[in-house]
Each structure stands twice: as structure tokens, then as C-alpha cells.
Amino acid sequence: MKTINNIEYLNCNPFDIPTFYNESKPQELFSELTVEYLDCLSKQINKNPRIRDFPDVATFSFFCRRGNILQLKQKYLRPDPTKIGRGIVFHIAPSNVPVNFAFSLVSGLLSGNTNIVRVSSKDFEQVNIISNAIKSLGEKSKFSEISNRIVLVRYDRNSDATREFSRYCDVRGIWGGDETINHIRKMPLKPRSFDITFSDRYSLSVINADAYLNSPNQKNISKDFYNDTFLFDQNACTSPHLIIWLGANENVTASKHIFWKALNEIVLKNYSVEPLTNINKLTNLYSQAIQMDQIKLDHKTDDSIWRINLNKLKNNIHYFKCGSGYFSEYHGKSLLELGPIINRKYQTLSYFGIEKDELNRFILDLKPNGIDRIVPIGRTLDFSLYWDSYNLIESLSRNIEII
């Protein structure tokens, strides 16, 4: 039996990797049993009273409901051509977003694959809640077929597990920073296997101040923005770091005052600042001041929110991505001013007060190399089977041509 050092199996017993590879078979996409399993997983997670403390777990549970999965099936599954899974997908989840591993797993199950999932090596309670629910369902014979297609593992960098799992997988999904991706890519795959990579990205928000001042839901907008940013200390690739304000000067000034005041009230109630984060913010500010023209610390509230005012946009702004409440702000005249700065590192643009037709025109006129998602503020963390321009169902399955 091929053993791997320093590895913890969260929902199953250790196994012989070559045998596991030979016995794993592709399955149909969006099978009824998979849909039923995910619905039961949702219900199992909801039994845990601690779910109230973790909105990201609640969001995942909501995603797995039968009604939602059936909507996804209708959207992503075409009757022709014949499609089945690719075989074994090895998911390498990021260390700083606890529930990412679960969404990645679901994409692998729905696309008909067996899944080996490396969860974060950090001890997140969210991971424990979901993995325990998966382990509990594994005890039900009704779902043995699905449970046998799920392997959750945890290990540190000293383990040779990544190298060994890579040798036998059909697809390797790598969620992480550029350095992590480049390191793992050096580990060989089988000749027909391939990587899907989700690298470190940069995200921004655009707020139309004219519309904001007329909105009856100003506090909710700040709450939604809080969820997009502070839930993961701005570590998620979807979390905005640059805020673009559009509108008349007086409206932008008034909107900033209302927006940031409401956000600060939410932060004070729900978020605690670690001393080290402020050192990181200060270091980042000095670096940004050296490399960018005429910036200033426009406002700093209780060490939790730092706002850096920009006189102009420069194409190196993404280098000053920090975290824990560090935001650069710019007052622009139109969305087209984003053109010079948007590169392949940009992932999500969140917005308020902008019509979808205007967003469509912006993309078609600008044709940017970056930006893969445009979503309302408050929905940046919503998982989609389209991610980083990948159609995950298409990427993780294969077409069988029948003539």
C-alpha cells in the first residue's frame, strides 16, 4: 500500500492510491442521487447550532438545496452531447477562505467526478462543521456511492501528499497565490491530465453617488459591503480594495460621509483589529506613497478603516492590495477611466447604482484583459459554476462524441 506521510483523513480511512485510481469511474452529471445527497448535506449542516455564527457556512448550506441545484442543472446541463466526468479531481483549497473547499467539492460532484480535497491546514471551525456533516452522511448506505467519491484531507507543507495525489488525478484544481500555483505546477501529472488554476486576483467596487443618495437602503449597502470585505479580512480574491465613486462632486462627498460612517458602526460591532494588521497597513501606505503620486490618508477610523485618496488612477494600484480594512478611493467621471489600470489580475467588479446596460457597454467598449465577474455589492462571495472565466461543469467533464 502506498502511504503518505503527515496526512489527516477527515471523512474516510487511509487508502491505497493506485487502487483508488483504478477503481474510480466517471459518473453522469447532475445525477439524481448527487442532487439528493447535496440536499441532505444542506439539512445535515443546518442541524448544527453553530451555523448561526458562520454566515459562510449558512451560504454554502443554502447553495446545496435541491431547488438551487436543479436550477443549476437546467442552466449548465445540455441534453447533447453525451457527457460524463473526467475521473478524479484533486482540489487544493486556499488556506485563507475556509469554505472554498466545499464549493470546489460540489463542482466536482455535479460534474461526475471522484474528488480528493485538500482543506486548509488552519483549524477553521467552518471546515469542521462541513466535514463532520459529510462524514455523518457517509454512514448512510443510501449515499455510499457518493461518499466513496469524496476524500477530505488535511496536511502541512512538509507532506508529500500533493505530489502523490497529483500523480493519479485527471484534473488538478489549484486555488491559491501565484507562488503556490507555480510551486505545485512543478509536480508532474499524467500525460492527459491538466491544471485549472485560480490565482491571486484583485477586485474593486464602483458606486454611483447620485443613485446612492436617493437610495432608501444606504445602511444595507454598507452592511453588504462589510460582508464582501471584512468577513475574510479582505483576503478573498473577490474582496474589493479599490473604490471608484461616480457622480457630482457634492454628491460624492455626501455619499462618502454616509457610507463610511455606517460601515464603521458595523465594523466596531463585529470586527476586531489585530495590532499586526495596522503595522501592515502603515507599511503598505508608505510604499504606496513612494510609488504613487499625491496620495493621502484621507481618513482613518479607530484603526479599522484606512481610506487612501487617489488623485489619479495608475496601473500599479493592484500592487498595494492590503487587507483588514485598507481601501484606496478615487472619484472618476466614467467607468472608462478604469481602462488603463485593468489587467489580467482583476477578477470581480461589484457595483451599486449602475444599470446593466451601462456595464455591458463598458465591457464591450473597453474589452479589458481582466474582470471576470460583475456583481452587485453584497454578492461578491456568491459562488458560481462560472469562476475566473471557467465553466467548471464543462472543464471538469468530457464530451463523448457519438456519430
CATH number at residue 94: 3.40.605.10
Same domain, 158 and 240: no
Q: Is residue 383 included in any domain, yes or no? A: no
Phi and psi of 339, rounded to 5°? -50, -50
Q: Residue 183: which domain range? A: 7-199+388-400
Considering the domain architecture, whether residues 172 and 289 belong to the same structural domain is answered as no
Quick one: 97 and 246 in the same domain? no
Q: Is the dihedral angle over the CA atoms 215, 218, 220, 222 positive or is it negative?
A: positive
Same domain? 257 vs 366: yes
Residue 169 lies in a domain: yes
Q: Is 379 exposed, middle or buried (0-12, 13-18, 19+ CB in 10 A)?
A: middle
| Residue 281 covered by a domain | yes
Point out which residues pair with 202 in neighbouring strands: 346
Q: Return the bridge partners of 196, or none.
A: 173
Q: Is residue 1 part of a domain?
A: no
Same domain, 233 and 275: yes
Residues 366 and 306 in one domain: yes
Between strands 82-85 and 397-400, the pairing is antiparallel
pLDDT number for residue 1:
42
Written as nine digits, the cell of 366 is: 473597453
Evaluate whether residue 14 is within a structural domain. Answer: yes
What confidence score (pLDDT) does residue 296 get?
Answer: 87
Q: Are residues 240 and 149 in the same domain?
A: no
Residue 358: which CATH number?
A: 3.40.309.10
Cα(first)–Cα(last) distance of the chain, in Å? 42
Whether residue 187 is found in the same domain as residue 286: no
The pLDDT of residue 359:
97
pLDDT of amino acid 207:
98
pLDDT tens figures, 226-249? 999 998 889 889 999 999 999 999
Beta strands in 201-277 (DSSP E): 202-208, 240-246
Say yes or no: 208 and 124 in one domain: no
Contacts of 84 (CB under 8 A, 6+ apart): 26, 27, 28, 29, 112, 397, 398, 400
Kindly give the residue spans of alpha helices, DSSP state H, lying in 47-168.
Answer: 55-63, 66-76, 100-110, 125-137, 144-147, 161-168
Same-domain check for residues 266 and 124: no
One domain for residues 130 and 215:
no
pLDDT digits (tens, 9 = 90+) for 38-65: 999 999 999 999 998 998 999 999 999 9
Q: Look at residue 5 in the predicted model and tell me its pLDDT.
A: 66
d(C-alpha 391, C-alpha 76), whole Å = 9
Order of strands, sheet of 194-198, starting from the edge strand that comes earlier in the sequence = 7-9, 150-155, 114-118, 88-92, 171-175, 194-198
On whether residue 329 sits in a domain, the answer given is yes
Residues 82 and 186 in one domain: yes
* Structural domains in the chain (count): 2
Provide block-wise average pLDDT over 10 residues at a time, the chain (403 residues).
Answer: 74 90 94 97 96 92 97 88 93 92 98 97 93 95 94 90 95 92 95 95 96 95 96 90 97 96 94 85 93 82 86 92 93 94 96 97 94 96 93 95 87
CA distance 216 to 204: 23
